[in-house]
Structure 1
Amino acid sequence: MGHCCSKGSVAASALKDDVNHGSTAAGKNHIQHKPPSLGGSVGKASNGASSSDTPLHSYTGSPGQIPYPEGVGATPSPAGTPRRTFKWPFPPPSPAKPIMSAIRKRRETKKEKPAAIQEDDRKEREPPLDKHFGFPRNFRAKYELGKEIGRGHFGHTCRAKCKKGALKDQFVAVKIISKSKMTTAISIEDVRREVTLLKGLSGHQHMVQFYDAFEDDLNVYIVMELCQGGELLDRILSRGGRYTEHDAKSIVMQILNAASFIHLQGVVHRDLKPENFLFSTKDEDSPMKVIDFGLSDFVRPDQRLTDIVGSAYYVAPEVLHRSYNVEADMWSIGVITYILLCGSRPFYGRTESGIFRSVVRADLNLNGTPWPSVSLEAKDFVKRLLNKDHRKRMTASQALTHPWLKEEKHGVPLDIMVYKLVKLYVRATPLRRAALKALSKALSKDELRYLSAQFDLLEPKDGCVSLDNFKTALVKHSTASMKESRGFDILDKMKPLSYTQMTFEEFSAAAISPYQLEALEEWETIAKSAFQYFELEGNRVISIDALAQEMNVGESGYLILKDWIRSSDGKLSFLGYTKFLHGLSIYSSNMRQQQ
C-alpha cells in the first residue's frame, strides 16, 4: 500500500453519512477473508496493507451463514444419563498394583493435559516462522522518521526525511509493518508480494513510486513517494459530495489508466476506492496515484480467484460468489464513478450482510436526484461498469473509448482482453468464426474505435498482424509483474497465429465479445443486422447432433437446440444465431455433465 490508512475523521457533512459510512478509517466494512465457506470466520492473514484502519470483520453476520436448526442453540446439551455402578467381588491384592497404579496415573496426567498446554507443546515442536526477507537492515542510517500520517490494522505510515543517497533531504512516506503481527506463513508471503508488486508497478505515472524496502528484528519498512495532496474522498467531500461531469471525467480517466496498466501486468488490485487514490500535490489539477497493494494479487488471464477480500461497499458480486478476475476492479471503478456523479453509493446496507445482499440482488437506480440532469452517456458509462454479469462489463481500455470520454484527449492502452478473445477465436470452429465475422460487420463506430486503437498498438505490417505482433506488443508494455503473473503464457495458446496473418476485418471478428455487446441498448439492432450478414455468408444446414457438438451440449439439451434450427431449411434461426454466439455456457456445461 502507499499510505497504509485513511484519516480517522473527515469534515462532518450530510454526504459523510452516506459516502463515508463504513468505508473511511472510522468505517466497519473492510473485508479480508479466505474462509472455506461464507459461514466461516477464518480470514486471510494480512500484512497490514489495508488503507483503512478499520478492524477486519468475520462473516458472522454474512448472508451465507448457516444458523442453528430450530430448537437447537449454542448451549451445551443436557447432562448425560447417570452412570450405573456395579459391585463385583475384589480379587486378592496384587504385588504389581502400586506399579500399575503409577503407570495409569502417568497416562491419565498426559491425557488430561490442558488444551492450551498441548497447543504450546505443538508450537514448540513446529519450526519457527522465518521472518527474514533479505532486505537491507540500515534503515535508521538512511532515514529519519517523522510524525505518523496514517495507521492501519497491521501497520502505520510515517513521514520521513532521507539523510543520504539519491533522495537526500527529500521527504518520503514509510510504511512500517510489525513482524510481531506476521503470525502465519501467509502473512509473511503477503508482505513479500506487496513489495514485489510495488517494485514492479511503480514506473507508471499513476502508481505510487516505490523507493526501497528495509527490515530489522522488529519491523519491515517500505519507503515510497510521499503524496501530499490528500485522498480523493476528501476532495469529493470538499466539493459538497459530488463532481461536475467535466471534472469527474478527469478523475475517472486517471483511474482507468491506472487500472488498464495493472490489469495488463496480470495484477488485480481488489481494493479500489476513493481512500486509495492520493493526489501528488494540493494543486487542483494534481495527478492521482493509486496506493495500497496489500490486498492485490497476481492473476493469469484465464485464472479465477476465490478469496473474498476488499471493502464491502466496493466489492463486486462475483467476488462474493468466489470466482473473479480483473473485472472485479472495474465494478469498483463503477462504484467510484457513481459516487463522483451523485455523491452517494449505488448499493447500501446497514450491516455488512445487508451491503452484500444489496450488491448481489439490488437493481442499479439511476432515477433519483441528480441523475435526471446527468447526461445519457454518463449514465450508460456507469451501467456498463456496474453490470452484475462480469462478462458484460467494460474493460479499462474499452471504458477509455466510451462515448462519455471520447472528447477527452488520451491514449488507449493495450488490453489483455484482446489476447483472451483472439486466443479463443483462433481455436474456434469455422461456423463460430463465420458467426463472429458477421457480428463484426454490424458494429457501431464507437466499438470500431476501440478495435482500431488495439489493432494499431499491435503495429501491423502491410495491414496484417501475426503472433509476432502480439508478442512484441506484450513485451513492449510489460514489467517484472507480468513475468510474476505468467502473462506471457497466453501466447502459447495463440500458436495457430504463427502460420497465418490477420487483417483488421478478421481481427475485429476475433476481438469482440458477444456478451459485452449484449449489454448495449442497441444490441437488438446490432444482432438483427449481424444475422443478415450471417444469412448471406455463413449460415448453413446443420443437424441437431452437429449443433450440440458445436455447443458442447449433451443429449438432454437437444430439445432446446431444436428450437434454434429452422424447420424450413435446417439452418440456424435468428434465436439460434444469438444463442450460438455465446458459445459454451454454464448451463450447457451442466447439461453435459449430467449425461
Structure 2
Amino acid sequence: MVHFSYSDTSRFTSLRHALASFKPSPAPPSFTSTWKQFKRQRLCRSSGRSSSSDTTITSVSKNAPLRLFGYRQDFESRYELKEKVGSGSFGTVYKVSSKQTGEDFAVKTIAKRWASGAQMEPLFVRRIQHEVDIYNHIGKPTACRQICHMLLSPKIDAGAGRSLNVAYLYGAYEDSKNVMLVMELCKGGEMWNRVRSGRYSEKDAANAVRDVLRTVAQCHARNVLIRDVKPDNFLYLTSDENAPLKAIDFGLAQYCKADENLREKAGTAIYIAPEVLKMKYSLPADLWSAGIIAYQLVTGRLPFTGEEGEEVSTQYMEKKQFEHKEVFRAVLYADLDFTRAPWDTVSPACKALVQSLLQRDPACRPTAVEALKHSWLSYTEEVASDLPLGGDIVQRLQRFGTYGRLKQIALRKVAHNIASDSALVSDLRKAFQQLDTADTGELASRQKALEQGGFNLSRPEMQQLVSQLVDEMDEQGDIQYDNWVAAMVDWREVEHSQEWHDWVQKAFEAFDVDGSGSIGIKDLQDMLCQGEICAVPDTVEAAIREADVLDQDGNISLEEFEALMHSADTDALDLFDTRHHS
C-alpha cells in the first residue's frame, strides 16, 4: 500500500476536506446516494442573485409536507412485475410487462422516506420531483391519446418527444410505500461490457464517447449538471452492433447554470472531478467524468499512474475494489498516463481530445459542445433521405422534444403568428405540402414519414418523436401545420427577426388569460390542461419550476417568459443524433 506523505500541507488539506464528510455507500459507490449524504445536497437553481462567476447556491426552499406526489396509483393493475434487473442504494430496477399488450418495460422502484406525522421527508420529496423533472427537462412527457393507438399498440402514459440519447420515461406511479418510474427497457447491456468483450475499436470508442457527450451537452443546454457520468449509467437499447446508447439515471443531477457553483460532493468516486472534491464546481465536472470514460474505452484501464495512482487503477480494473482515500488522492494528484500502449498507436486526434477532457483545471476543459466539434468526433454524413427536409428531421424533432411543455405550446403560438409566406418558413411550408398529399392542411401521423425516410428508429422511438406534434385534443391524431413549424423551424434565426418581440408578447398574452400581467397557476391550468385535471401529474408545477427562475414567486413574468423562449447556441442540431442508417 502506498503511504500518503503529510509534508505537503496544501495537498493534505485538500484530501482532508474531501474525506471530511464522506461515508461509503454500497457498490457502485455513488457517495451522495446514501440518505445521510443526500440531506447535505442543495438545489442549484437560478435565483436572481448575482450572476458572477463565483455565485454559489446553497439554500433549499422548504417543501410543504406531502403524503402523496399525485402520481397515478394503478401500477399493479397495469403491469406485471418480472425479474429484478439491478439495484442501487436509492432504488431497485425490475423488468415489467404491460398487462394489456404484453410489452416489456423497466420500472425503477424507490421506497418512500417518512418523517414524523406520517408525512414524507421534505428532501425526499424534492429528490423524487427533481429526478422526474430532469427527465422531463430533457423532454417533457405528455398524455398521448389516439396517436398511440395509430403508431403503436396502446401504451399507458406514453410520452412525447425528447432526446433519443436518454432512456424514455413513460410515467410515474406511486402507492403507500413506493414510487415507481416506468421507463424504456434497454436490453443491450452496459457500454463497459462491450469493451470487455473485445469488440471495441477506436471508431467504436469514438461513437460511444460522442453519445455520452451528446447527453452531457443536451443536459448542460438545459442547465442540468449530471454529476454521475459513468459507464454504469449508459445502456445500449438492444444487443445489435449499431444499437443506440442511452443514459438511464439522473438521480444525482442538479440544475446549475454555467456561472454558478455547487459545493456538495456528489458522484461516483472513480469518475469524480478534482474540483468536486474541493467542493466548488460547475458544468465542467461532467466533462472530466466523460474523459475518464473515454480513456477507459480507448485503453481498457484508468488513467491514474505513478506512486499515487497505479495501485488504484489496478485494484479497480481487476477487482472493482478501492479505498476512497486512495481514489481521492489519485484524482487530485496522480500522474495521468498518455505514454503506454495503446497511446502509441491510437490517432493523435483521439489522444488530444482525451487529454483536453482530463485537465485538472476545469477552465481548461472544452465545453460539451466544443468537445463534440473535435476532429476525433466530428464527421459529415451524406444524407440519403427521401424526406423533403433532408436528413435532419430526427435531430429537429429531438431538439423540440427537449423543450418543456410550456415552451412547446408557446412556440406553437408564435408559429401561428408567422405568415405562411414568410421567408422564415417558406421551405417548411413546401415540405409540409409535399407530405400533406391529401391537401387537407393536416399531416396524418399514420403516414409513417420517419419510416420512409431511412432512419434507424425503433417503433417506440418513432412514436415518441411524432406524438409531440399532435394536439392532445385531436382525436384523429393529425399533425397541424403550426405544430410542424414549431418543431422544424430554426428558432435562433426567427429570434433575430424584427417581429420576434411582438410574437412573444402575443404568446404571453394568450397564456395570461386574466390579464394580470403574469402567468399564474390558473392560467397554466387553462392552457396546458384545458382547465381540467392534467392527464400528466405535476404538469403545471413543472412549468412553474422551469420558467419562474428570477424571483420564484409562483408566477411567470413577461421577462421570465422571454428568457424561456430564448434559443441559445446550445440548441444546435449537432447535439442530437441523426439516426441515419449506417
Q: TM-score scaled by structure 1?
A: 0.50
Q: Give the counterpart of 2:163 among 198, 201, 204.
A: 204
- For residues 230 and 262 of structure 1, what CA distance do their matches in structure 2 show? 23
Relative to structure 1, the CA distance from residue 180 to residue 190 in structure 2 (aligned partners, 3 Å threshold; closer, same or farther) is: closer
Higher relative contact order (CA 8 A, sep 6+): 2
Cα deviation for residue 330 of structure 1 reads: 0.9
Return the letter of the residue paired with 2:21.
S
Give 3-state SS (helix, strand or coil) of 1:173's partner: strand
Residue in 1 that maps onto 2:107: 174
Return the letter of the residue paired with 2:271.
Y
Asked if 1:404 corresponds to 2:341, the answer is no
Residue in 1 that maps onto 2:217: 260
- Offset from partner CA, 1:175-210 (integer Å, 9 cap, x none): 111115788422231112112222332410101100
- For residues 104 and 90 of structure 2, what CA distance do their matches in structure 1 show? 23
Cα deviation for residue 212 of structure 1 reads: 0.8
Residue in 2 that maps onto 1:138: 74
Relative to structure 1, the CA distance from residue 274 to residue 363 in structure 2 (aligned partners, 3 Å threshold; closer, same or farther) is: same
Residue in 1 that maps onto 2:278: 321
Cα deviation for residue 393 of structure 1 reads: 0.9
Q: Give the counterpart of 1:223 among 176, 182, 196.
A: 182
Relative to structure 1, the CA distance from residue 54 to residue 364 in structure 2 (aligned partners, 3 Å threshold; closer, same or farther) is: closer
- Offset from partner CA, 1:100-155 (integer Å, 9 cap, x none): xxxxxxxxxxxxxxxxxxxxxxxxxxx99634211121111111111111111132
- Offset from partner CA, 1:80-112 (integer Å, 9 cap, x none): xxxxxxxxxxxxxxxxxxxxxxxxxxxxxxxxx
Q: Which runs of 5+ in 2 are unaligned?
A: 1-15, 35-62, 140-161, 313-321, 383-391, 400-488, 508-538, 552-556, 564-568, 570-582
Asked if 1:153 corresponds to 2:112, the answer is no
Indicate if the aligned counterparts of 1:299 and 1:485 stay in contact, CA closer than 8 A. Answer: no
Return the letter of the residue paired with 1:195.
V
Cα deviation for residue 391 of structure 1 reads: 1.3
- For residues 367 and 139 of structure 1, what CA distance do their matches in structure 2 show? 54
Return the letter of the residue paired with 1:177.
I
Residue in 1 that maps onto 2:335: 363
- Offset from partner CA, 1:305-354 (integer Å, 9 cap, x none): 11101011111111111111111111111111111111101134342112
Return the letter of the residue paired with 2:258.
P
Relative to structure 1, the CA distance from residue 54 to residue 268 in structure 2 (aligned partners, 3 Å threshold; closer, same or farther) is: closer
Cα deviation for residue 487 of structure 1 reads: 9.8
**Does 401-410 or 243-252 show the bigger shift?**
401-410
Indicate if the aligned counterparts of 1:201 and 1:481 stay in contact, CA closer than 8 A. Answer: no
Indicate if the aligned counterparts of 2:18 and 2:278 stay in contact, CA closer than 8 A. Answer: no
Indicate if the aligned counterparts of 1:328 and 1:390 stay in contact, CA closer than 8 A. Answer: yes
Indicate if the aligned counterparts of 1:271 and 1:296 stay in contact, CA closer than 8 A. Answer: yes
Cα deviation for residue 404 of structure 1 reads: 1.4
Residue in 1 that maps onto 2:226: 269
- For residues 405 and 233 of structure 1, what CA distance do their matches in structure 2 show? 19
Q: Give the counterpart of 1:344 among 281, 297, 301.
A: 301
Identity value in percent: 32
Q: TM-score scaled by structure 2?
A: 0.51
Residue in 2 that maps onto 1:287: 244
Residue in 1 that maps onto 2:21: 41
- Offset from partner CA, 1:268-288 (integer Å, 9 cap, x none): 111011111001111010001
Give 3-state SS (helix, strand or coil) of 2:107's partner: strand
Correspondence 1:492-511 to 2 at 5 A: none
Return the letter of the residue paired with 1:218.
K
Cα deviation for residue 169 of structure 1 reads: 2.3
Indicate if the aligned counterparts of 2:33 and 2:252 stay in contact, CA closer than 8 A. Answer: no
- For residues 311 and 157 of structure 1, what CA distance do their matches in structure 2 show? 19
- For residues 363 and 53 of structure 1, what CA distance do their matches in structure 2 show? 23
- For residues 294 and 127 of structure 2, what CA distance do their matches in structure 1 show? 29
- For residues 37 and 131 of structure 1, what CA distance do their matches in structure 2 show? 37
Q: Give the counterpart of 2:367 among 395, 400, 405.
A: 395
Asked if 1:249 corresponds to 2:186, the answer is no
TM-align CA RMSD: 4.2
Give 3-state SS (helix, strand or coil) of 2:285's partner: helix
Residue in 2 that maps onto 1:189: 126
Give 3-state SS (helix, strand or coil) of 2:260's partner: coil
- For residues 110 and 276 of structure 2, what CA distance do their matches in structure 1 show? 27
Indicate if the aligned counterparts of 1:200 and 1:481 stay in contact, CA closer than 8 A. Answer: no
Residue in 1 that maps onto 2:290: 333
Cα deviation for residue 467 of structure 1 reads: 12
Q: Which has the larger radius of gyration?
A: 1
Residue in 2 that maps onto 1:374: 346
Return the letter of the residue paired with 2:126.
E
Give 3-state SS (helix, strand or coil) of 1:323's partner: coil
Indicate if the aligned counterparts of 1:333 and 1:385 stay in contact, CA closer than 8 A. Answer: yes
- For residues 226 and 323 of structure 2, what CA distance do their matches in structure 1 show? 24
Give 3-state SS (helix, strand or coil) of 2:127's partner: helix
Indicate if the aligned counterparts of 2:32 and 2:265 stay in contact, CA closer than 8 A. Answer: no
Q: Which runs of 5+ in 1 are unaligned?
A: 1-35, 59-126, 416-455, 499-506, 508-595
Residue in 1 that maps onto 2:439: none
- For residues 232 and 329 of structure 1, what CA distance do their matches in structure 2 show? 18
